[in-house]
Structure 1
């Protein structure tokens, strides 16, 4: 950190645990406001940049898409605005996460039905794993006798 609470891009990136390129990317796409420039043309980030970057990083860690983050940032800039939009975005994201969990649970259940059945013994011609993958329409429990 530099005097007066200003940060250079490397300091800001280190503080947030991200790369300098990520900071530049967020600037390019307009999620981060452009920083002031020093007399020698270095970027000079203020504490508000740190706060905004923290918001973005936390939202990304929760899986929010860039467009959703942009909407949430826009909303946060309007303190008197109704938070229904933020709730709608979060609720929609939660539904998407729940759908992914359901999909992963179904994937796990399907793999559990046949994974480990062969235990590395036998031949490929009698392999339940290969049979199930080749004949998706059949139940995993119905393998050749």
Structure 2
């Protein structure tokens, strides 16, 4: 059995992270000690590692909750259900990448149009563009 600090250390997160996951219904201690300390098992540690890996892959708390529900009752789901979630997340990330690329290109265009010299910014092309668009 792990106390909250021990599990947090073992999984390289903070105790506050564990409390946050508990508050959001993603993780709960298997039991509590006589003094009320949260106690976690090895299975809880595996559960936490699942959450952390899903988070590292970009899944939201809601999506992680869905994945945990699927993981808990695998026989009720098809691989296609999980694959669909992963493909939807990949498409969402691609849209974000595309938007960030457009933003970067727009900023670079602004920067390229500016002389970048030491003179006054009275006629700065960047400020003029931001002011008129």
TM-score (norm 1): 0.83
Q: Which runs of 5+ in 1 are unaligned?
A: 1-5, 137-145
- Residues 27, 47 of structure 2: 8 Å contact kept: yes
Q: Tell me which residue corresponds to 1:112.
A: 108
CA distance in 1, matches of 2:109, 2:99: 16
- Residues 32, 53 of structure 1: 8 Å contact kept: yes
Note the aligned Cα RMSD (angstroms). 1.5
Q: Tell me which residue corresponds to 2:82.
A: 86
Shift >4 Å, 4+ stretches: none
Report 1 or 2 for greater relative contact order, CA contacts < 8 Å, sequence distance ≥ 6: 2
TM-score (norm 2): 0.89
- Residues 36, 45 of structure 1: 8 Å contact kept: yes
| Higher-Rg member (1/2) | 1
Q: Tell me which residue corresponds to 1:36.
A: 31
